[in-house]
Structure 1
C-alpha cells in the first residue's frame, strides 16, 4: 500500500456515510454527495437515515463536501451511489455512470476506483471502466485500477453493522486486490474475503438478495395456499421452525433498495448472456403482486363483516419498507393505499419512523401524525415497528367499536387481530 492513502467516498447515503466515518479513523477521508442539503445537514450533525448518531458526526474527522473538485487529492475513490431499476425493471445505471464520469475527470496515474454499488456481473470492468477511461484519457490496469467490494448494509440494523459483517473484496489485478483488502481490513474487525475476480464479487452480491427474494416468495405462496385451506401460515412456519435446518422466513411485502431490485440485475445480465432464468423471474413476479393480494384480502375481510369499502375509514400503520427504519425506498405499502383509494376508501397513513417531507416528496402522501382513537373501520398493521406494540399505539386503539385489524406482519398475537397474512 502506498505510504499515503487519501480516500474519497462518493455518495453519502445508508452505505457511504458509515463507510466514510469508519475510514476517516485510519485515513484522510473526504465524503462527497451532490445533494447540497444532505451535506449541510451532515455538517450540522444530523443524519436523516439514522444510521449514524449526532456524536459520531460531531467527533469524526471526515471532510464533507458537495464540490467534486475538493476530491482532487484523493488516490482511492469509493463509489456508493444508488443503482435502481426503471419502471420496466431494467437496471438504471445512470447515477453510477454519472459518478464514474465525475471521478474520471479527477483520475491520476496510480489511482484506484472501488465500486460498492450493486451491479450485474461484468458491469464494473465493462461499462464503468469505459466511462472512467473516456473521462480521464487513462487506461485500465496501466494508469488506474479497479476494485469491487459489495455493500452489505442492512438499514436500521444495529447488530449487523459495517464492522461486524465480513467484507468481500476484489481487484482488477492481484496487487490491486491486496491493496484494497488492506484498506478494508483496517475498518472491518469481522474480516474480509478476497474473491478471485471482480465478476465473482459482483455475482455474489446479486445472489445474496436474490436468495432472500426467492425464500420470501415461497412463503408468500404458502400464505396464499394455506389461506384457502383455512390454515394460519404463521402457525405452520412456527411448527416447521422446530427442525434445525428449516429457514424461518415470513411472508410479506418486498421493498427496499436491495431485495426487490438486485434480482432484476441478475435477470438482465443472464438474459443478455442467453439464459432466461425461470425461478428468479417467477419469484419476482409473485412478490411484485403481493400488494394486490393484500388489498384483495382486506376487501374480502370487510365484505365478510358487512363493511362497505366506499367511504370506509382505514388507517395504515407503517409505510417504510421495513421495521424500525426510516427508509422509504421502493416501499410497497403505498400501492395498497392507492388500491384501496380506487374503491373510494378514506385512507390515512401514520408512521413515527417516516420523514413526512420525504414521504410527501416521493409519493405525494401526507402523514397523519396523530390518528384519532376509536375512529377507523379497519386498521392495517403494515410495518412491524416496535412502537406499534405499545398499548396507546396499538392498532386496536384506533379501531371503532366494531373495527377490524389486519396484521400484515404477524406482529401481534393472533387473538388480538381479525386477520393476518
Structure 2
C-alpha cells in the first residue's frame, strides 16, 4: 500500500480538486527545474501528477509557494493539485514517467549523462510496482541528448534496474523540451510539442498526454531518434547563426563600423534572419551543439561547422574583454558589471558567459564589481566565486558594462549609469540597447 501523499514527504501544493477522470492517468515528472516544474503544473491540471526532485530544499521551497526559477508564480503554484516529493519511494505507480533533468557537458565539452542515467535508475526501481498494478508504463524523456541515448543508453538501465523487458513490460517515448526561461509567450500550454513513441500505439498515448495540455498541438515525429535529433539541431542552428553575428562583429570592429548600424540596414530585407551578436551561455544553446558534435565524432565524422561556431561563441567573452581593455587604452580600472545571468530578466546562472568576461577582465588587471537584479547571491559565489554587490550604485567607476539588459537597468536608463562614471569613464553596452548613449558597444 502506497502512503497517502498528503501524509508523506509528497505534499499537495494547492487545495484544488482534481478534474473528473484525472485518476485514469497518473504521471510522475522527474526533475522540477525550469523544464519540469511548468510541465508538471500543466499536467496536474488534467491528470493526477506527482513532481519528484531529489533536491529537498527545492521541494520545501515549492511547498511554500516559492519557485526560485520564476517560471510559475505563487498563486498558480498554490492553486495547483500537483503533489511534490524528494523521496522516490513514496511515488505511486504511474502510467507515465517523464524525465526532465539537466544534461550538461563536462570540462572537456563532452556530454555528461550521469544525471539522466541516475534518473533512469530511479524510474527503473518504480516500474515493477506500476506493472504489478496492471499499468503499462511509458518512460518519456525530455532532456536534450544526441540521437540514440534514449534507446541505447537509458533503456538498458531501466531494464537492468527493473528486471523488466523494454518493449513488452514498459515502453519508451521522447518529447524534446522547448522551455525558454523567462519567455511568457512560448509557454508549455501554447507551443507545438514534438512527440515520439516506441510503437505506433505508444506514440498515440504520448500524443494524447501532451495534446491535453497545449493549444499548439502535437507533431508526431517519425521515430524517437528523429525527435532527439530535432531538438539538438534546433539549438545548434541558433548557435551557428549567432556565431556568424559574433564573427562579423569582430570584423566590423576593425573597420570602426557598428554592427547595430549594419544590422538595422540588413534587416530591411524580407528574408534576412534577425540574429544578433552576444555572449552565448545557458543550458541549451551553449551546451547542446557539443552533444551533436560528440555523436558525429563517434561516427568518424568531423563536425567542422558545429565546432567552429562553438569555438567562436566560447571565445567571445575573451574578445570582448580585450576590446574593453583597448577602449580604456590598456589602463586597468574599476569596472561595474551589470548582470551575470545568461540572459535578461531571469535568475538562471547556468553556463554564464558574463562570468567568463569577469574573469578575463580580472586577468587584464581590472577590478570588477558585479551587480545582478535577478541572480541569487549565494549561487553566484557557489558557482563562480563571484560576489554580487547590492549597493554597487553608491560608488563611481572607470567603466560600467551593461552585460545583461534586465528590465530594471533599462528602466534606469543610460543617464543613470553615466552618473556612476568617473571623469573620462566608459559606458559599454554589449546588447546595443543604449544606442548612441554608449561609448562602446559590440
Give the TM-score, by structure 1 length. 0.96
Cα deviation, residue 373, structure 1: 4.6
Stretches of structure 2 lacking an aligned partner (at least 5 in a row): 1-20
Greater displacement, 76-85 / 269-278:
269-278
Equivalent residue for 1:145, pick from 147, 153, 171: 171
Greater displacement, 266-275 / 338-347:
338-347
Matched residue, 2:103: 83
Classify the secondary structure of the residue corresponding to 1:281.
helix
Distance across 1 between alignment mates of 2:328 and 2:206: 57
CA RMSD of aligned residues (A): 1.4
What are the Cα deviations for residues 206-265 of structure 1, in whole angstroms up to 9, with x where unaligned? 000000000000000010011111111111011000011001111010000100111000
Equivalent residue for 1:295, pick from 292, 304, 321: 321
Classify the secondary structure of the residue corresponding to 2:328.
helix
Matched residue, 2:248: 222
Question: Which consecutive segments of 4 or more residues in structure 1 shift more than 4 A?
Answer: none
Matched residue, 2:186: 160
Asked if 2 retains the 8 angstrom alpha-carbon contact of 1:381 and 1:407, the reply is yes
Asked if 1 retains the 8 angstrom alpha-carbon contact of 2:23 and 2:47, the reply is no
Classify the secondary structure of the residue corresponding to 1:164.
coil
Cα deviation, residue 140, structure 1: 0.9
Matched residue, 1:338: 359
Is 2:69 the counterpart of 1:33? no
Cα deviation, residue 299, structure 1: 0.7
Stretches of structure 1 lacking an aligned partner (at least 5 in a row): none
Corresponding pairs, count: 415
Cα deviation, residue 275, structure 1: 1.5
Describe the shift of the 1:271–1:349 C-alpha distance in structure 2 as closer, same or farther (beyond 3 A). same
TM alignment of 1:99-178, pairs within 5 A: 99-108=119-128, 109=131, 110-178=136-204
Matched residue, 2:402: 381
Distance across 2 between alignment mates of 1:389 and 1:139: 56
Asked if 2 retains the 8 angstrom alpha-carbon contact of 1:381 and 1:395, the reply is no
Cα deviation, residue 374, structure 1: 5.7
Matched residue, 2:13: none
Greater displacement, 364-373 / 10-19:
364-373
Distance across 2 between alignment mates of 1:37 and 1:258: 24
Distance across 1 between alignment mates of 2:190 and 2:419: 39
Distance across 2 between alignment mates of 1:100 and 1:397: 54
Cα deviation, residue 390, structure 1: 2.5
Greater displacement, 176-185 / 274-283:
274-283
What are the Cα deviations for residues 84-127 of structure 1, in whole angstroms up to 9, with x where unaligned? 00010000000000000010011133211000000000110110
Give the TM-score, by structure 2 length. 0.92
TM alignment of 1:234-273, pairs within 5 A: 234-273=260-299
Asked if 2 retains the 8 angstrom alpha-carbon contact of 1:147 and 1:198, the reply is yes
Is 2:427 the counterpart of 1:405? yes
What are the Cα deviations for residues 13-70 of structure 1, in whole angstroms up to 9, with x where unaligned? 0000000000001111000000000000000000000000000111000000000012
